[in-house]
Amino acid sequence: MVQKAERVASPGTRGGAGGRTGGRAGRPVGNITRGTTNPNRMRRVDRWLTGPQAWRLRNAPDPLVVDLGYGASPATAVELFDRLRAVRPDVRVVGIEIEPERVRQAKALERPGLSFQLGGFELPVPGRPVLVRAFNVLRQYEEADVAAIWRLVQDRLAPGGLFIDGTCDEIGRRVTWVALDAERPLCLGLSLRFGGFELPSEIAERLPKALIHRNVPGERIHTFLQALDKAWLEAAPLASFGNRQRWTAMCRAVRDAGWPVLDGPSRWRLGELTVAWDAVAPGP
């Protein structure tokens, strides 16, 4: 089911009135979504946040992190808190949900550094977060709403902050995310479980909302996924050494073919691949 954000003004956004993504005064911005989730579902994106992006949290004057739209169970917000504490012991994670009963139930799990509160895309927290993770949230909105929602969250980021808009399957075997700083989208990340796919392009069903309807001929994301499939098939002789070696060869091949791959073998071995956003962004 696709949600449509309210058609009301949102003051304070850099892009103007904000159209459908605004909220009435005193009311959270957004709509209640299905809220389905599972423990350990976000492990792949959390591994990226605590790996190549950990410097953002380490360098932050205020280690504030928001888990936006954690769903019917706060398990993934608790997991994010535990994982980020290994990087920054004084991290503060705030789980934000737009459905009051979900917040009420999560309150029992609060502890120093971890809290839950009612809210939406306006991020009603004191200060500016260095990380905002919103997974399987925008997937339930319309594509036309995405840019304004992105802008609303970006405007709340701390200097050097990052907003992660992602999607994954029910148990986190196939994961994609767009990473944005305060100014623009930076990259598209992919992470797949080895042995859980025949072709890399199967990740298309879990693309973020900004891209999921763009996997058609003539769009950059379609061309990219086709390039992955081609390189994966050409690396088939390495399958006898394991899927990790085959995936690494695929990543190296697409990089050598000119795709702006932003990571290297240490991430490829985990089933990850990150590419610059401009290479896959929707066409005009």
Average pLDDT for 234-243? 96
Given a cut of 50, is residue 16 above it in pLDDT?
A: no
d(CA 223, CA 236): 20
For the chain, percent of residues with pLDDT exceeding 70? 90
Decide: 80 and 93 in contact? Cβ < 8 Å: yes
- The pair of structure tokens assigned to 70 is 């954690």
pLDDT digits (tens, 9 = 90+) for 63-73: 999 999 999 99
pLDDT digits (tens, 9 = 90+) for 180-234: 999 999 999 999 999 999 999 999 999 999 999 999 999 999 999 999 999 999 9
DSSP 8-state class, residue 96: E
Decide: 33 and 3 in contact? Cβ < 8 Å: yes
d(CA 39, CA 52): 23
- Written as one string, the DSSP assignment of 108-162 is GG-BTTEEEEE--TT---SS--SEEEEESSGGGB-GGGHHHHHHHHHTTPPTT-E
**pLDDT value of position 25:** 52
pLDDT tier at 38, thresholds 50, 70, 90 = confident
Average pLDDT for 230-258? 97
Type of residue found at 274: T
Segment holding 94, helix H or strand E: strand 92-97
Decide: 37 and 75 in contact? Cβ < 8 Å: yes
Decide: 158 and 62 in contact? Cβ < 8 Å: yes
d(CA 149, CA 241): 44
pLDDT tier at 5, thresholds 50, 70, 90 = very low
d(CA 156, CA 231): 39
Given a cut of 80, is residue 37 above it in pLDDT?
A: no
Average pLDDT, the chain: 91
Burial bucket for residue 140 (CB in 10 Å: 0-12, 13-18, 19+): middle
